Amino acid sequence: MARPNEEVAAHLQEYADLISITGDEQFKARVYEKAARSVAGYPEDISKADVKTLRGIPNVGASIADKIVEYFHDGGTFAALEELRAKIPAGVRRMIEIPTLGPKRAMTLYEQLHVSSVEELSAAIDEGRLQGLKGFGARTEDNLRHGIELLHHAGDRLLVNAAMEVAENVVDALSTVDGCVRCTYAGSLRRMRETIGDVDVLAAAERSDALMAAFVGLPLVAEVIAHGAAKTSIRTATGLQVDLRVVPPSAWGAALQYFTGAKAHNIRTREIAVRHKLKLSEYGLFDAPTNTLIVSETEEEVYERLGLPWIPPPLREDRGEIEAALSGELPDLIQTKDLRGDLHTHTNLTDGVASLAEMVGAAARLGYAYLAITDHAPNLFMQRMSDEKMLAQREELRALAAEHPKLQLLHGTELNIDPDGEVDWPAGFLAGFDLCVASVHSHFNQSRKEMTRRFVRACENPHVNIIGHPTGRLIGRRQPYDVDLEVVYEAAARTGTALELNASPERLDLSAEHLIQARRHGVRFAINSDAHATTHLPNLRYGVGTAQRGWLTADEVINTWPLRKLRTFLNKSAS
DNA sequence: GCCGTTTTCGGCCCGACTGTTTTCAGTCG
């Protein structure tokens, strides 16, 4: 079940879409869009909020606050939305998801041809009914046909690591092109979103033609969508869109600022510019009356001239970072270099593919100060763990310690939280571990009440130090457990149990949104790779990206701490 | 419909590319 805030946001967004399809009151549509984003990002549950509280949410005024109250009172809708739903079939709204078809021409198709679904549009094209319709030429017909294809085969958004691989390949290739001064990826990838819709690459050069030619000639290009002097877009065989923008080297900072921020963040920064009688574009910050350039070379200059400190890319979502920047309250975000070690890793003793020695060697080469090995406990029966195997691994670990004087090795385990909240092994055996991660690996379908109690009991176990992947989601594949996380956050903070930020790109669990909620309770976090191979250890970069999106500082993350402080935290029963 | 360094009305981000048009509207990010 989605949070109430997200349900309301979805309905406000639908209302905005329907307003924009009707064609009048475009500014009203924009306000509802802005309100939808504000509501989705508002940290408190709004289902019980009164009108006064609701009006305190940015972009929510009297009219929208009333509609939200009405929404909760009338079982999930409001009258104005129902009126527009009655006017515009749901299929017409679905039509604007077709690439190249927007609200204006969707409405034309509906009014002129009574086309009210993607399927009817397909049929209308095949029957030649679009011919002669004003604004719809032969090319438009082809584009709509192709757009419908894409809509039907639209791959889901890519996981961040898959998109990163494509982006780094493109950047590497373009960086060697003659005349290329700088090249990097921007967009949602630079903001480290957990999934990526398309990849944005930015290059600086005096002339763009060589870069554009090299780009469309890359082996990964399956289709060229648009090919201009400033911007070229391609699609790969897997359907991923990659955009290349080329700007003059002197405009690098303004362009990077423009192509990094979420749309909402960019609108906010441009609005600030307008208030200062300035104009901000990808080419620079200009004095509006005279159109003379003020700054453009670095992002820092652009933000500074707007009266803002430089804002780290993962924060650029219009989720309060502008306000925090204006009041000098931006968080000092955790950095990858702050992490001293990894507290959740596996070996081939259970389901990992690397040996203990290989995992330890890889961590030593990465310069970690400490590493915890946390193989699965016996109740995950398929892994065939036993007391003897675990104790033998501990001996082997202690022996390896001598070979790696700079790396402190911790012997741990990943326990299974059973349906009652109990874990593998009696307390006496658990006391022999340096730390215990505990995770849910079965009985995913318990009621919300049972699942919540299960997590709280695990937190209350004096030997459980970290709750592993707390929601259990697999991005795009498995829904999170139904659990009251607010109660879990409270229990974790109260008992000195850290919540994991599992850095595996298919999990990223807790998510950035959950981190923002959890940190309000004073929760401590552990950013762990959950590596099942040495190549997974560097996935911590995605965990740090997610942590930054969740506004985390280094001191909130236990594996940035020196070992002595970490050991005190791990010794729960003593405190 | 919201908002305020243009403050209770009048404005609301900016530019690139495409297609259909012949000077611009629509879409996208």
A135 by DSSP, 3-state: which?
coil
A267 domain residue, yes or no: yes
**Residue nearest B1, CA–C1′ metric:** A28
User: Which bases in strand B are touched by protein, i.e. have an atom under 7 Å from a CB?
Assistant: 1-3, 5-6, 11-21, 25-29
Least confident of A154-158, A276-280, A429-433: A154-158
Q: A365 with A316, same domain? A: no
> Distance of CA A159 to CAs A150, A193, A486, A509, Å?
19, 9, 27, 14
Q: A429 with A526, same domain? A: yes
Query: What is the H or E stretch that residue A303 is in?
Result: helix A299-305
pLDDT band (50, 70, 90) for residue A575: low
Instruction: Report residues 108-137 of A contacting strand B, contact meaning Cβ closer than 7 Å.
Output: 134-137
pLDDT tens digits, A477-526: 778 888 999 999 999 999 999 999 999 999 999 999 999 999 999 999 99
Q: State, as a whole number of angstroms, the distance between the CA of A61 and the C1' of B8.
A: 14
- Helices A103-113 and A118-126: angle between axes, nearest 10 degrees: 70
Q: A204 with A289, same domain? A: no
Strands A158-159 and A195-196 come out as antiparallel
A37 domain residue, yes or no: yes
Q: How many domains does chain A have?
A: 4
pLDDT tens digits, A177-219: 999 999 999 999 999 999 998 999 999 999 999 999 999 999 9
Q: A355 with A312, same domain? A: no
Evaluate if residue A574 carries a pLDDT over 80: no
The two three-digit tokens of residue A65, written as one number: 């606050």
A331 domain residue, yes or no: no
Q: State, as a whole number of angstroms, the distance between the CA of A321 and the C1' of B9.
A: 29
Q: A116 with A10, same domain? A: yes
Q: A532 with A439, same domain? A: yes
Q: What's residue A546's pLDDT?
A: 97
pLDDT band (50, 70, 90) for residue A57: confident
Q: Note down the domain range covering A289.
A: 251-326
* Mean of per-residue pLDDT scores for chain A: 92
Q: A486 with A391, same domain? A: yes
Q: What's residue A352's pLDDT?
A: 85
pLDDT band (50, 70, 90) for residue A37: confident
Instruction: Report residues 212-271 of A contacting strand B, contact meaning Cβ closer than 7 Å.
Output: 226-232, 241, 243, 263, 266-267, 270-271
A152, A177, A210 - which closes a domain = A152
Q: A227 with A265, same domain? A: no
Strand B contact with A338 (CB < 7 A): no
Q: Which nucleotide has the shortest C1'-to-CA distance from A98?
A: B27
Buried/exposed code over A78-101 (b: 16+ C-beta within 10 A; e: otherwise): bebbeebeeebbebbbbbbebbeb
Cα A219 to Cα A38: distance, rounded to the nearest angstrom: 41
Evaluate if residue A238 carries a pLDDT over 90: no
H helix intervals, A402-476? 427-430, 448-460
Query: What integer is the mean pLDDT of A402-426?
Result: 94
The two three-digit tokens of residue A56, written as one number: 């305190």
CATH code at position A184? 3.30.460.10
A98, A129, A152 - which closes a domain = A152
Q: A243 with A369, same domain? A: no
The two three-digit tokens of residue A272, written as one number: 């600030």
CATH code at position A88? 1.10.150.20
Per the CB < 8 A criterion, the answer to whether A286 and A272 are in contact is no
Strands A278-281 and A284-287 come out as antiparallel
**Residue nearest B12, CA–C1′ metric:** A27
**Residue nearest B3, CA–C1′ metric:** A59
Q: What dihedral do alpha carbons A141, A145, A146, A151 form, nearest 10°? A: 130
> Distance of CA A514 to CAs A201, A299, A511, A520, Å?
29, 29, 5, 10
Strand B contact with A284 (CB < 7 A): no
Rg (CA), chain A: 27
Query: What integer is the mean pLDDT of A550-563?
Result: 98
Q: State, as a whole number of angstroms, the distance between the CA of A77 and the C1' of B6.
A: 38
pLDDT band (50, 70, 90) for residue A1: very low
Strand B contact with A32 (CB < 7 A): yes
Cis peptide before A510 (omega within 30 of 0): yes
Per the CB < 8 A criterion, the answer to whether A58 and A31 are in contact is no
pLDDT tens digits, A131-156: 888 889 888 998 899 888 888 776 66
Among A2-6, A239-243, A476-480, top mean pLDDT goes to A239-243
Q: A510 with A378, same domain? A: yes
Instruction: Write down the residue that tokens 């990894």 correspond to.
Output: A342
A455 domain residue, yes or no: yes
pLDDT tens digits, A7-25: 899 899 999 999 999 887 8
Q: State, as a whole number of angstroms, the distance between the CA of A118 and the C1' of B29.
A: 23
Q: A142 with A26, same domain? A: yes
A182 domain residue, yes or no: yes
Cα A234 to Cα A352: distance, rounded to the nearest angstrom: 38
Residue of higher predicted confidence among A498 and A327: A498
Q: A240 with A354, same domain? A: no
A150: phi then psi, degrees, rounded to nearest 5:
-60, -40
A88 domain residue, yes or no: yes
A297, A326, A355 - which closes a domain = A326
Cα A308 to Cα A425: distance, rounded to the nearest angstrom: 54
Evaluate if residue A2 carries a pLDDT over 60: no
A436 domain residue, yes or no: yes
Strand B contact with A41 (CB < 7 A): no
